[in-house]
Structure 1
Amino acid sequence: MPATLLPRIPLYEPAPATNEPLEFADLAVIDLSKAGTPEGRADLAVQVRDAMSTQGFFYVINHGLTSSQNARIFDIANLPFDQVGEDEKKSLATDFQVTGTYTGYKLRGLWHIESGVKDQIEQYNVNRHVKSQDHPKALIPLLPEIDAFARFNHFEVVHTLLRLFALGLELPEDRFVNMHNFDAAGATSVRFMKYFPREADEEALAKNVWLKGHADIGSVSVLWSQPVGGLQIFSAEGKWKWIKHIENALVINTGDSMEFLSGGFYKPTIHRVIQPPADQRNHPRLGVFYFSMPDDDVKLAPQIDSPVLQKYGLSGRCIDSDPPLMGVWRKGIVAAYGVSDLKKTESGVEEEIINGILVKHYN
C-alpha cells in the first residue's frame, strides 16, 4: 500500500544542545520495550519504584515512536504559535478561571511570577477528545495526527506506566488503568507550550524564574525531551538540578493525584523552569506534553488495600473520609494558579488552600 501523505507544514529547527557545565539530576532510565511481558513489568516496576523514591523523575526510552516521528510532532507543536495570528489566538483563548480547564490557548502575561513580572508563556492545549473543541484553521488538517499522538501517549505510555505504579504498590496491574479511561470525562490533554525570552530587567526582577516551582495536578506527566534547558527539579539533597536532554526520550513525573491515590507513597517532585543556559538564552523553548489525569469522577482516596501502604502506614495529604473528586480538585487548581493571592511563609514558600488541601509554590 502507498504511504499516507502527511500535510506539508514548516519544519521546526531545534536549538543546539547546551555546552554549559550544568549540574544535572542523576535520573533512572526506564526501557519501556521490556514492558511487554509480566516478567519485564515486574522488573521495571522495581526500577520505577526506586526512581520515584529518590528523584521523583525518570527518563523513558524505547517507547515506540521513531526520531522522525518525534521531529514531526515538534513541527506540529510549533504551528499554533508561529502560524496563527493574534486575533485567532484570542478568539480561542480559554477563561481558565471560569472553566477550570486550559483547553485552547493560554496567552502570555496571565500568570504572576515575581515582583510584578508576568509570564512569557503561550500554551495550546488539546483535550484528548480532539474533536470536542474548536481549533485554529492552520491546525485542522493535522487533527488526525494529534489524535493518534494523544492515543499513543495514553495507551502505550501512560497505561504502561500506571501498571508499573500499581505493581510497585502490590496492587492489581489494572487498578490505576481503570481510573484513566480515554473516553471518560476529564481534562487529560496534549499540551504544546512555548516559552519566549524576556528582557534583562524582567529576568532580574523575576530572579530568572520562568515558571514557579510546583507539583503537577494529575497522575502521570509526559514531557517529550527537547534540547533547550530550563527545567529543574528540587532534589532530595535540597538543591535545584537541571534535567538533561536525551534525544527521543521522555521525561516522566507524577503529580498530586498520584500522591493522593498512592497514600503518599509516590510523592510529586517540585520542579520549575528558569532562564535557559547562556548559550541557549536567545532561543524560545518549545515543549510537547501529555498531562494525564484520573477520570473526573474518581475519588482521590488512598488505595488502602495495598500491602505497601499497610506496611508503611502511609496516608498522604488527603486523609479525610470524603476526599475530593478529580474533577473538583483540578478545576480548583487551574482556576487559582498564577492569579490568586498567596501567603508567603518565612522560608519564602508561597501557600494557598484549595478544596481544604494545602498547595505550595516555590520561587
Structure 2
Amino acid sequence: MSEKPEIPHYVPAPPTREELDYADLAIIDLSKASTPEGRVKLATEVRDAMRDNGFFYVINHGFTQEQTTRIFDIADLPFSHVSDEEKRKYEGTMLQSGSYQGYKLRRYWHIDNGVHDQIEHYNINKIVTNREHPEVLRPLISELDEFSRHNYFNVLYPLLRLLAIGLELPEDTFLKIHQYDKVGESWLRFMKYYPRTEEEESKTNNVWLKGHTDFGSLTILWSQPVSALQVMSPDGKWRWIRHIDNALVVNSGDSLEFLSGGYYRPTIHRVVQPPPDQRGYPRLGAFFFATTDDDVKLVPFAESPVLQRHGIKRRFKDEDAPITEQWRSGRIKAYGKSKPTKTEAGTEQEVISGVLVTHYN
C-alpha cells in the first residue's frame, strides 16, 4: 500500500470551557447495526431521536480518530493552500445551476441588515471524479473517494435502513432511492467560518447562519470543537450542540419529512458566534449531505403501517410533489440570494417549488 501524501496538519481550537445550555441528544452506536436484532433495537432509538429532536450523535462509525484527524487536515487545504485566483477558477454556479459543486466563496449569502456571510466552502460530488479539483487536492483523490464512499455506504446506508425499519417498511426502501451510481447531488462539503467584525455581529444579533432546515434527506456532520451550532429544541429554545471527539452529528432534512409523511421531522438549526473563549478562531467543518436521486418524486410512503396508524401530514398534494432535482435546485438558487417575506412572528417565508419555506432569526 502506497504512503499517503504528506500535507500540513490542521490544529483546531481547544474545546470551549464555557457553561452552555446543550441539547440532550441520543447517542447511536452504529456498530450495533451489523445484526438484524441490533438494527431493530437501534431503529427504535433513531426513530425516537428523529421524533424528539431530529438530531442525534453517531459513534463507532468505522473511522478511527487518526483517520478523522487526517480528514480535517485535508479539509483545510482548499482554504489555506489555494490562492484566491485558483478558487475563482473553481467557483460554483449556484444561482445558474442549482448545484453547490465547487467553491462558495465568502460574502455570497446575505445574512441580515446588509451583512453578508464570512463562510467559505468547497463542495465535491459523491462521485469525486465528476469534476476537476484544485491542484492541492489532486494527489488526494483516492482519499476523498474513500471518505465519500465511507459516508455513503458505512454511515448513510445503515441509517437509512434504520429509518425504514422505524416505518415498518422493507430495510432497503430508502436505499433504492439513494443509489450511489445514479444521477444525484449527494456531496461532501469542507466548510470554513472566519471570525467577523463587532459591527457584523451587532447587525446580525450574532447569527452567522439563519435558522433553517436542510433540504435533503440526511446531513452528516463530523464533530469539531468550535461551538457555534444550535438546534431549536421542542420547547422552542435554541440549545448548543456539544462536541464529542470522533463522533458524527446527524440531522434530517425536508426530503425525509416529505417521504415519511411528516413522521420524521426536519429540525431547525442555526450557526451563531462561538462562546467568548473560542472567538477569533476559524471553524472548520467536514460534512456529507445526502439527497435522494434526482428523479425521485418526494411523496410519502403511504404503504407504511406506521403512517397508516399515525396519519400522514402533507405539505402539498401528492400530484404537486416536487422531483428531487427541482426541489434541490430551487432551494440552492434561492438560499441567501432571494428576498423572503418577513412575518409578524419574526420569521421569513418564501415559496419554492410549491412548498412554503421558513427561515428563522
TM-score interval, smaller chain: over 0.9
Alignment gaps of 5+ in structure 2? none
CA–CA separation in structure 2 for the residues paired with 1:356 and 1:268? 18
Cα deviations by residue, 1:83-125 (Å, 9 ceiling, x for unpaired): 0000000111012010001100000001111110000000000
Query: What is the CA distance between 1:324 and its match in structure 2?
Result: 1.0
Question: Which residue is 1:166 aligned to?
Answer: 164
Question: Which residue is 1:237 aligned to?
Answer: 235
Question: Which residue is 2:279 aligned to?
Answer: 281
What amino acid sits opposite 1:257 in the alignment? S
* Mapped contact 1:260–1:316 kept (Cα < 8 A): yes
Query: What is the CA distance between 1:14 and its match in structure 2?
Result: 1.2
* Mapped contact 1:301–1:318 kept (Cα < 8 A): no
Question: Which residue is 1:156 aligned to?
Answer: 154
Question: Which residue is 1:192 aligned to?
Answer: 190
Cα deviations by residue, 1:199-243 (Å, 9 ceiling, x for unpaired): 001100011000110000110100000000100000001100000
* Mapped contact 1:52–1:266 kept (Cα < 8 A): yes
* Mapped contact 1:233–1:240 kept (Cα < 8 A): yes
Question: Which residue is 1:100 aligned to?
Answer: 98
CA–CA separation in structure 2 for the residues paired with 1:54 and 1:257? 18
Question: Which residue is 1:203 aligned to?
Answer: 201
Work out which of the residue numbers 281, 288, 291 in structure 2 matches 1:290. 288
CA–CA separation in structure 2 for the residues paired with 1:269 and 1:94? 27
What amino acid sits opposite 2:231 in the alignment? I
Query: What is the CA distance between 1:55 and its match in structure 2?
Result: 1.2
Cα deviations by residue, 1:271-310 (Å, 9 ceiling, x for unpaired): 0000011000010000000000000011100000001111
Where do 1:9-28 residues align within 5 Å?
9-28=7-26
CA–CA separation in structure 1 for the residues paired with 2:207 and 2:245? 25
Query: What is the CA distance between 1:270 and its match in structure 2?
Result: 0.2
Q: So what's the TM-score if we normalise by structure 1?
A: 0.99
Cα deviations by residue, 1:51-102 (Å, 9 ceiling, x for unpaired): 1111110000000000000000000000000000000001110120100011
CA–CA separation in structure 2 for the residues paired with 1:253 and 1:317? 20
Q: Secondary structure at the match of 1:131?
A: coil
* Mapped contact 2:101–2:122 kept (Cα < 8 A): yes
CA–CA separation in structure 2 for the residues paired with 1:46 and 1:15? 36
Question: Which residue is 2:34 aligned to?
Answer: 36
Query: What is the CA distance between 1:146 and its match in structure 2?
Result: 0.4
Where do 1:65-76 residues align within 5 Å?
65-76=63-74
Question: Which residue is 2:252 aligned to?
Answer: 254
Cα deviations by residue, 1:113-145 (Å, 9 ceiling, x for unpaired): 111000000000000111111210011001110
* Mapped contact 1:101–1:334 kept (Cα < 8 A): yes
Question: Which residue is 2:136 aligned to?
Answer: 138
Query: What is the CA distance between 1:46 and its match in structure 2?
Result: 0.2
Cα deviations by residue, 1:240-282 (Å, 9 ceiling, x for unpaired): 0000000000000010100000000001000000001100001
Question: Which residue is 2:223 aligned to?
Answer: 225
CA–CA separation in structure 2 for the residues paired with 1:153 and 1:316? 30
The alignment yields a C-alpha RMSD, in angstroms, of 0.7
Alignment gaps of 5+ in structure 1? none
Q: So what's the TM-score if we normalise by structure 2?
A: 0.99
Q: Secondary structure at the match of 1:351?
A: strand
Q: Secondary structure at the match of 2:251?
A: strand
* Mapped contact 2:297–2:322 kept (Cα < 8 A): yes
CA–CA separation in structure 2 for the residues paired with 1:326 and 1:193? 24
What amino acid sits opposite 1:43 in the alignment? K
CA–CA separation in structure 1 for the residues paired with 2:157 and 2:317? 26
CA–CA separation in structure 1 for the residues paired with 2:216 and 2:353? 15
CA–CA separation in structure 1 for the residues paired with 2:314 and 2:353? 15
CA–CA separation in structure 1 for the residues paired with 2:93 and 2:63? 34
Question: Which residue is 2:176 aligned to?
Answer: 178
CA–CA separation in structure 2 for the residues paired with 1:152 and 1:319? 36
CA–CA separation in structure 1 for the residues paired with 2:132 and 2:102? 8
Query: What is the CA distance between 1:315 and its match in structure 2?
Result: 2.8
What amino acid sits opposite 2:172 in the alignment? D
